[in-house]
Amino acid sequence: MTRRTFLPSLATCGLAGSVVIEGQPKPARARLKQSVTKGVFRGRQMSLDDMCRAAAQAGIFGFDLIEPRDWPILKKYGLVPTMVPGPYGGTIPDGINNRENHARLQTSIREGIELAAAAGCPNVITLSGSRRGMPDQEGADNCVAFLNSVKAHAEDKGVTICLELLNSKVNHPDYMCDHTAWGAAVMKRVNSPRVKLLYDIYHMQIMEGDVVRTIRDNIQYIAHFHTGGNPGRHEIDQTQELNYHFVAQAIADLGFTGVVAHEYTPLRDPLASLAQAVDIFTV
């Protein structure tokens, strides 16, 4: 007779327990480290402590874009701060494509790198900024100049500077780093193991599609991923246009060792949606 053992690890989050059937092969160990942002918990009144507890119980590795002052809360639950937020690396409209920002941002991103290194955080985010009439080539030259000026510090500290790809069609009009080819060209010129792209799957699905082929062709320039369903940046389930399990499989098959962070706004119970997202990316 087969005996079933119920694991109630998610019960305190309001999720059903998993079922393990003894005598059957165990599922393969997850190949991708998963992280979350605060946004995946919208819809419930939760403190950061509550979010961290739920994330840890769901098998999450870390938290993206949490302020350094709150990192001790993450540590309490065994979670890693996986991406230092802005404004250390600029903001969406005012970033590294404007040379007038360079002196200020060189100081602040070095501070972010120091904080990350001390806490075991692998990444610091940076942003290109808006075009404001600037030609893309000039913006690329300015981004390369900035990244070249700070890459040695990142290399010395073992922290990766991640330039985020965002869409300029729906959410962030005029943002310059809005296509993978442009971002990859900047990465190629900087040529540092500690300067890479943050490939946001939601944003690049809007701008260019062909997500899996693009990831495969540019994986050497990508250090970090964000997820989100399109349209609407909601759950990464069957209600949107990407097969995220296939995307996860492709990323894992490339030997990706970084972090995939879930950054969606749930329409359903956030804890049930998180459990589903974790399952989709467990490949």
pLDDT for 30 equals 86
What is the 3-class SS of the chain, one letter each residue? CCCEEEECCCHHHCCCCEEEECCCCCCCCCCCEEEECHHHHCCCCCCHHHHHHHHHHCCCCEEECCCHHHHHHHHHCCCEEEEECCCCCCCCCCCCCCHHHHHHHHHHHHHHHHHHHHHCCCEEEECCCECCCCCHHHHHHHHHHHHHHHHHHHHHHCCEEEEECCCCCCCCCCECCCCHHHHHHHHHHHCCCCEEEEEEHHHHHHHCCCHHHHHHHHHHHEEEEEECCCCCCCCCCCCCCCCHHHHHHHHHHCCCCCEEEECCCCCCCHHHHHHHHHHHCCC
Q: What percent of the chain has pLDDT over 70?
A: 90
Average model confidence (pLDDT) across the chain: 91
- pTM, 2 dp: 0.89
Indicate if the pLDDT at residue 8 is higher than 50: no
Q: Residues 251-265: what's their mean pLDDT? A: 98
- In this prediction, residue 86 carries a pLDDT of 84
Domain 31-280 belongs to what architecture? Alpha-Beta Barrel (3.20)
Tens of pLDDT, residues 217-237 = 999 999 999 999 999 999 999
